[in-house]
Amino acid sequence: MAIMLIQFLQQAEHNMYQLPSHSEMIRAFTTSDATYEGIFITGVFTTGIFCRPTCSARKPKPENVTFFKSVKEALDGGFRPCKRCRPLEDLDAAPSWASNLLNKVDQDPAHRWKDQDLRALDIEPERARRWFKSRYGMTFHAYSRSRRLGKAMGNMKNGDRVTETAFEVGYESIAGFNDAIKKFTGQTASNASESEVVYLDRIATPLGPMLIGATNKAVVVLEFVDRPMLPTQLARIQKRFSCVFVPESNPLIVRMKEELSSYFEGKLADFTVPLEFPGTDFQQRVWRALQTVPYGKTASYLDLATWIGDPKAVRAVARANGDNRIAIVIPCHRIIGSDGSLTGYGGGLHRKRKLLDLELGQSQTSMFD
């Protein structure tokens, strides 16, 4: 097994870390598949431009496109950036008007926003509704209401009384506040004050946006937003923590963003942000074993099963690996097949290739060297 892994890694430059197949990239570009953001850039011969996989412009014929690993390669090839999908810009970055609005909500989460407040900032309410819906899955008013109730939850967790909290966050009656809290948490205000708060935010990465969730003590979820299993993971977190989710950042989320940025720049190998990952005893053993696979190295499912003292539990280990809800930091992407092949990854094999390319491209070694 060790020999196969070493041979596999020695051949990595020639097979493992290439672009996806041409047919797969054609499919992804034709269907505007967002999971391929950061994986390839499309050059269009007939126009001389290059685009993101998700460009909304009319798609050219397959014979008129070529693909690159990076914007730099496309520029070096003589192509210029598309003005519609703007491949030189951060896809997840908020436009200036939205950044200004987000800052104002951060400064005063208790403010009860109305459409006239938006118009006073030269923002059309419909524009705000569409942008927040696409980014957060909720309208601006739902977002601001969640922030207001999130602040209320925080206040009550810190010992403030329900009556004081209700008026502080802009409610004119205790009954109205109780109704809002019950819709938000499914509990009365007095019971909800005992619930854990998990703050949710987005993190822009070169491989697409990720959702991060953290309490004030630890990060509890970090997943690519397009992972099909994400709703299931959030439901499990809510059950495990008896928590409510609030769309807001906190110091741990800020710290995680900084560490992820350094990681993708190739400057950070070991994360320091505290994690909390409740699960079955078996899952936790697997997830802890995953954390022992160092940056720049790989292992197999059989290795993991052996390390936890159950070498026959390879399939169960693979399932636990897939149930990992803290991507990259608990490095399930470092697990490959015993024959050296890439195997399933919740964020997509194309992302797994990119992550391993980043890490193994510097050391090109397995755990058996």
Q: Which top CATH class is 96-258?
A: mainly alpha
How many whole angstroms separate alpha carbon 143 and alpha carbon 194? 22
Q: Which residue bears the tokens 């636990």?
A: 320
160 pLDDT band, cuts 50/70/90, is low
Q: Where in the chain is the domain with CATH 1.10.10.60?
A: 96-258
The confidence score (pLDDT) of residue 13 equals 32
Q: Which residue bears the tokens 């890490």?
A: 359
Q: What is the CATH number of domain 38-90?
A: 3.40.10.10
Give the active site residue among 51, 82, 243, 332.
Answer: 332
* Sequence-distant contacts of 67-70: CB under 8 A, at least 24 apart: 67/19, 67/22, 67/25, 67/40, 67/41, 67/42, 67/43, 68/40, 68/41, 68/42, 68/43, 69/19, 69/40, 69/41, 70/41
The b/e string for 38-77 (b: 16+ C-beta within 10 A; e otherwise) is: bbbbbbbeeeebbbbbbbeeebbeeeebebbeeeeebbee
> Amino acid letter at 363?
S
16 pLDDT band, cuts 50/70/90, is very low
Residue 15 has pLDDT above 70, yes or no: no
47 token code pair: 């126009």
* Most confident by average pLDDT, 100-109, 301-310, 336-345: 301-310
How many whole angstroms separate alpha carbon 280 and alpha carbon 240? 11
Per residue in 205-237, pLDDT (tens digit) is 888 888 999 998 999 999 988 888 888 888 888
Per residue in 182-206, pLDDT (tens digit) is 565 565 555 555 677 888 888 888 8
252 pLDDT band, cuts 50/70/90, is very high
Angle between helices 281-290 and 314-322 (to 10 degrees): 80
The confidence score (pLDDT) of residue 256 equals 96
The residue with greater pLDDT, 159 or 255, is 255
| Nearest of 298, 284, 338, 344 to residue 318 by alpha carbon | 344
The confidence score (pLDDT) of residue 6 equals 28
Per residue in 328-343, pLDDT (tens digit) is 999 999 999 888 788 8
Residue 146 has pLDDT above 70, yes or no: yes
**The architecture CATH gives domain 277-363:** Orthogonal Bundle (1.10)
79 pLDDT band, cuts 50/70/90, is confident
Q: Does residue 332 carry a catalytic annotation? A: yes
How many whole angstroms separate alpha carbon 209 and alpha carbon 28? 17
